[in-house]
Amino acid sequence: MSPARWALAVLSFAAAIVVSLYIVLTSWPHAHHTVSVSLTAHAVLLSVALLELGARAGKVRLSAASLRIPMTFGTALRASAGGDFGAAITPSRTGAEPARYLIMGEAGMAPASIILVIFAELFLEMISLAVVAVAMFFVFRDAGGMITGMVSLVAMYATFVLGTGALGFVLARRGANGPPPLWAQRIGLHAGRWRAVQRSLRQLRTGIEGMREMRIGVALLALLASLAHLVLRLAILPIIVYSFGVKAPAAPLILWPVALMYGSVVVPVPAGGGAIEVAFKEALGHAIPAAVFGASLIWWRFYTFYLYIILGALAAGGTVLRALRPDAESATDPIDPVPDREIASY
């Protein structure tokens, strides 16, 4: 990354930490002693977090298998952890896919294969999120506006993904090659920017066309892994809160993290710049007892965010930083060097 982006990342992480401390200090009851998570609870949380990462890696590995693309579990694990690291240090989590692409590429996978795997994995993520939302609709019928809001969030996410995919596929058919059309020039997409758009369109077309060859049985196993990853991620906050021996309603502890997890994508600064912490306070301040609220926030962020940064940095930090270099775009163009006949061979 450029020095300016590193400075933005550092400032954003600092802001997130300061906001966390402010929320902890202002929400802590004056007459209450400090609380801490027990070693047993930490062991359980660490196990859940590692299993969640393993489930995501399994989803990527099985997504590749469903498309008859060879990939080792180790590569899938490094790509998942490295994607977390790349997402954490870039605005709106934009570094996740370049990081995963370069990690898979350095493992010897062909560019077209990488794109097919990434598209399949994202598609299964969308389906599993919809399944979880429907299941929660029936489990938490009394949650009222919370469950309605979560279902609406999932519906908007699915509509955005499918709508963007359909629009992109049409544009890819019509304008994935050649000079920028008149309408593109009018909105400022001149030759250089248009080439970047064309590369994205060709990636999209490759991914959508490759999905037609997916093996359904293996894809269902990948979907189960995706469901497991979501369930494990959503179990972290209830484990933290209930480990303190307090009473709290289960619905908000499970439902709100879904919105926070996927809503963080729209935050335009790395680590959220404190926005996730503020949203946590506003959404769960009434549900989690004040005596344990600060500790719950700190450890929830650690086991759902900061831990994955550490694991990603250890697993593939150098590769991720190479993927995010300003001059890495041309070196990691996943489409141009790959002829269509290679895609058809799968």
Q: What is the pLDDT of residue 161?
A: 59
For 316, other C-beta atoms within 10 Å of its C-beta total 27
Query: Each residue of 283-316: pLDDT tens digit?
Result: 899 999 988 999 999 999 999 999 999 999 988 8
Q: What is the pLDDT of residue 281?
A: 93
Asked if pLDDT for residue 168 goes beyond 60, the answer is: no
Asked if pLDDT for residue 26 goes beyond 60, the answer is: yes
More confident position, 183 or 127: 127
For the entire predicted model, the pTM comes to 0.81
Res. 157 pLDDT band, cuts 50 70 90: low
Enter the tokens of residue 41: 């609870």
What's the CA gap between 201 and 176, in Å, rounded?
A: 6
- pLDDT mean across residues, the chain: 80
Instruction: Tell which residue, 220, 270, 212, 226, has the closest CA to residue 86.
Output: 270
Query: Each residue of 55-79: pLDDT tens digit?
Result: 999 999 999 999 899 999 999 999 9
What's the CA gap between 290 and 293, in Å, rounded?
A: 5
Q: What is the pLDDT of residue 241?
A: 96
Enter the tokens of residue 257: 């993290």
Instruction: Tell which residue, 291, 236, 248, has the closest CA to residue 35.
Output: 291
Query: Each residue of 87-103: pLDDT tens digit?
Result: 888 887 888 888 898 89
Residue 164 exposed, middle or buried by CB count within 10 Å (0-12, 13-18, 19+): exposed
Q: Are the beta carbons of 237 and 296 closer than 8 angstroms?
A: yes
Instruction: Tell which residue, 320, 265, 122, 267, has the closest CA to residue 204.
Output: 122
